[in-house]
């Protein structure tokens, strides 16, 4: 049974997407937890700052600290149309990372897989280095860097920033998973990251699948596209891919097998709103055997 820890932020999402408008718990941490709760033999917990307003979203969720530790929870307002998204982020003043104290270290020490998934650029390279030092030596450490590409204007609208901390931050992880929407030329960026370090980079490409990049080569693992008129909700699909990739890669250490699994998992979830995501694990595993 893999022990999985997701260190980052949780948030309240106010979403308007292809065919749905709703308010729900958001963040990679929460989307991945929904998936791990449906995959076989997973023990998953989140480590994140949150306020009393988030307690209503914590049914069937293990979180540290066990009690709210901030006055309010981060809020993201998202409007998604096709591949376009506009976002505003509220309550950012309550999002400082959880201190790495004795209790944090105890919670992390047993982890087999560690996801680091900040939604804001306030996880310093030093913080990531301390996570690496605290974790078991062979724990798989995966970074979802989307928060590092964000800054905020006076109206709280999300704007692009460069991930200037990348060189120092990436030395603390084994795998980085990012979207082709995160950066103007994500593939070139990921290629530069892997050129001189033992890092595996995965770039999600929407309906084209995903690209695996290491210091020796790059290859695309295609998926079966879903017609846009059949997509119920695409919010969180990249996070779901990341969960699937980490789960399978920890089992097999085969990035191609892991990307195929993650593609299939993310595709299944496009037919549900986040509150109703349902994984058909037997169908998914059978499809990988074809």
Give domain status of residue 146, yes or no.
Answer: yes
The pLDDT > 70 percentage for the chain reads 94
- Confirm whether pTM is higher than 0.85: yes
Q: Is the pLDDT of residue 84 over 80?
A: no
> What is the band of 18 on the pLDDT scale with cuts at 50, 70, 90?
low
Task: Give the C-alpha separation, 251 to 43, whole Å.
Answer: 15
Helix, strand, coil percentages (3-state) for the chain, rounded to 5, are 35, 25, 40
Domain of residue 176: give its range. Answer: 3-285
Q: pLDDT at position 290, please?
A: 62
pLDDT, one tens digit per residue, over 126-182 is: 999 999 999 999 999 999 999 999 999 999 999 999 999 999 999 999 999 999 989
In a domain, 290, yes or no: no
Give the 3-state secondary structure of residue 166: helix
Domain for residue 163, yes or no?
yes
Give pLDDT, residue 289: 63
Instruction: Kindly state whether residue 161 falls inside one of the protein's structural domains.
Output: yes
Place of tokens 């980079």: 201
* Alpha-carbon distances of 287 from 21, 143, 268, 284, rounded to whole Å: 32, 27, 12, 5
CATH of the domain at 153: 3.40.1190.20
Look at residue 154 and tell me if it is in a domain: yes
Helices 281-288 and 255-269 cross at an angle (nearest 10°) of 140
205-226: string of b/e by CB count within 10 Å (b at 16+)? bbbebbbbbbeeeeeebebeeb
pLDDT band of 83, cuts 50, 70, 90: low
Structure tokens at 103: 């209790």
How many CB atoms neighbour CB 234 within 10 A?
20
Q: If we measure between CA atoms, which residue out of 236, 238, 204 comes closest to residue 220?
A: 204
How far out from the chain centre does Cα 124 lie?
17
Tell me whether strands 175-179 and 21-26 are parallel, antiparallel or unpaired: unpaired
**Which tens digit of pLDDT belongs to each residue from 227-268?**
787 777 666 788 999 999 999 999 999 999 999 999 988 888
Q: Name the residue among 108, 136, 88 with its Cα closest to residue 48.
A: 108
Average pLDDT over residues 36-63: 95
Domain count, the chain: 1
Residue 219 lies inside a defined structural domain of this protein: yes
Kindly write down the DSSP assignment for every residue of 93-106, as one continuous string.
GG-PPPP--HHHHH
């Amino acid at each position: 049974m893999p022990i999985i820890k997701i260190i980052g932020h949780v948030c309240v999402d106010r979403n308007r997407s292809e065919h749905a408008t709703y308010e729900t718990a958001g963040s990679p941490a929460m989307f991945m937890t929904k998936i791990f709760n449906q995959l076989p033999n997973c023990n998953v917990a989140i480590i994140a700052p949150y306020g009393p307003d988030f307690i209503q979203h914590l049914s069937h969720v293990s979180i540290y600290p066990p009690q709210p530790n901030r006055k309010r929870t981060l809020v993201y307002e998202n409007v998604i149309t096709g591949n376009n998204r506009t976002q505003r982020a509220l309550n950012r003043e309550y999002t400082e990372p959880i201190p790495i104290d004795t209790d944090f270290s105890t919670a992390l020490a047993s982890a087999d897989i560690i996801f680091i998934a900040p939604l804001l650029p306030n996880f310093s390279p030093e913080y990531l280095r301390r996570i690496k030092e605290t974790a078991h030596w062979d724990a798989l450490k995966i970074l979802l860097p989307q928060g590092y590409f964000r800054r905020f204007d006076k109206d709280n609208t999300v704007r692009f920033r460069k991930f200037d901390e990348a060189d120092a931050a990436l030395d603390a992880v084994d795998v980085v998973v990012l979207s082709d929407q995160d950066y103007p030329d994500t593939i070139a960026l990921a290629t530069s990251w892997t050129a001189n370090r033992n890092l595996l980079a995965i770039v999600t490409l929407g309906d084209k699948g995903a690209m695996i990049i290491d210091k020796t080569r790059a290859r695309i693992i295609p998926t079966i596209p879903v017609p846009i008129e059949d997509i119920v909700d695409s919010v969180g699909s990249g996070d779901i891919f990341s969960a699937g990739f980490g789960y399978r890669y920890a089992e097999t250490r085969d990035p191609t097998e892991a990307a195929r699994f993650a593609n299939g998992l993310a595709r299944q979830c496009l037919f549900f709103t986040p509150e109703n995501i349902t994984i058909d694990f037997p169908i998914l595993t059978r499809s990988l055997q074809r």
